[in-house]
Amino acid sequence: QSALTQPPSVSGSPGQSVTISCTGTSSDVGSYTRVSWYQQPPGTAPKLIIYEVSNRPSGVPDRFSGSKSGNTASLTISGLQAEDEADYYCSSYTSSSTYVFGTGTKVTVL
Amino acid sequence: QVTLRESGPALVKPTQTLTLTCTFSGFSLSTSGMCVSWIRQPPGKALEWLALIDWDDDKYYSTSLKTRLTISKDTSKKQVVLTMTNMDPVDTATYYCARITHPSYSGRDDFDYWGQGTLVTVSS
């Protein structure tokens, strides 16, 4: 099972919007709504920020939003803030009854 | 409140077997729909899913590592154990355990609670 493909890095100024793509195949992202996103600041454990493609857990700011089209899922951070600087990972369930993570994207706030 | 904590050796030698324990609280692995997974992250690299065990003792493994992995649970102790055989320096990573609930019961399928991770270094 190959990792889902994410851009290595994205950046934006405070207040701007950035979007991170997560490209898989018809055996994972394309076939399921079981796509989630995780935020990982340096030296910390990942934290769930989006589940089932576009749902936010309680306590996650609404500037984080998710979507999916075909084999590609996306995470958008609107109104970028300094505290959003972190690594972000997508994850999907697969047709092999396993899970796969993305390659990770570093978000830099300029 | 849900918490998970990983424990195990910080250093193992090549060819040795690694045994990691995940001790959790705030939920029971005997409750329908509850599952625990192991995930690892080499230094500076991406997350990699390893294995999952569910409330019914069904087990699922990474396709690429399944010959080396064994996951088990002790429901009464609230622990999940992962063993990985034939350790190699490329297995150096922070190993996390995380809770996941089966979508048939929760309507969702994500790693909602994580432990803080334990760094395992493989070196002679």
For strands B93-101 and B79-84, give the pairing: unpaired
Per residue of chain B (124 residues), what is the pLDDT tens digit?
999 999 999 999 999 999 999 999 999 999 999 999 999 999 999 999 999 999 999 999 999 999 999 999 999 999 999 999 999 999 999 999 999 998 888 888 899 999 999 999 999 9
Q: Is A88 part of the contact surface with chain B (CB cutoff 8 Å)?
A: no
What's the rounded Cα separation, in Å, for the pair B84 and B69? 5
Q: Among partner residues B37, B64, B116, which is closest to A45 by beta-carbon distance?
A: B116
Q: What is the pLDDT of residue A17?
A: 97
Q: What is the pLDDT of residues A55-81, one digit of tens each?
A: 999 999 999 999 999 999 999 999 999
Q: What is the pLDDT of residue B102?
A: 86
What's the farthest any 2 CA atoms get from each other in chain B? 46
Q: What is the pLDDT of residue B45?
A: 97
Sort out which chain B residues have CB atoms less than 8 A from A97's CB and list them.
Answer: 60
Q: Is the pLDDT of residue A32 over 90?
A: yes
